[in-house]
């Protein structure tokens, strides 16, 4: 997998994932499950630096010297 998520984008995804995880843990029912799932997806792309949706759309926020 090629890195296609830049550093600033990764930080934003991680921050949003933490907020959504907090909502997911606090709420019960569908909203909690959906929030927790989406938080996991965001956190996964923040850690790995790879976003499958970005690849499908041909987007990359990673610079040329972006570490993997």
Answer whether residue 48 is part of any domain.
Answer: yes
Answer whether residue 39 is part of any domain.
Answer: yes
- The Cα–Cα gap between 3 and 61 comes to 9
Residue tagged 């907020």 (tokens): 19
pLDDT: which is higher, 47 or 1: 47
- Quote the pLDDT of residue 16: 96
Contacts of 38 (CB under 8 A, 6+ apart): 20
Answer whether residue 68 is part of any domain.
Answer: no
Q: Over the stretch 11-56, which tens digit does the pLDDT of each residue have? A: 999 999 999 999 989 988 999 999 999 999 999 999 999 999 999 9
- Quote the pLDDT of residue 65: 65
Give the residue from 43, 45, 40 showing the smallest Cα distance to 61.
45
Answer whether residue 43 is part of any domain.
Answer: yes
How many domains, the chain?
1
pLDDT: which is higher, 68 or 24: 24
Answer whether residue 2 is part of any domain.
Answer: no
Answer whether residue 46 is part of any domain.
Answer: yes
């Amino acid at each position: 997998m090629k890195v296609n998520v830049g550093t600033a984008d990764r930080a934003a995804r991680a921050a949003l994932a933490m907020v959504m995880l907090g909502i997911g843990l606090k709420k019960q029912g569908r909203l909690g499950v959906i929030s927790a799932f989406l938080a996991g997806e965001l956190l996964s792309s923040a850690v790995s630096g790879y976003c499958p949706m970005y690849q499908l759309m041909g987007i990359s926020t990673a610079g040329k010297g972006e570490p993997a």
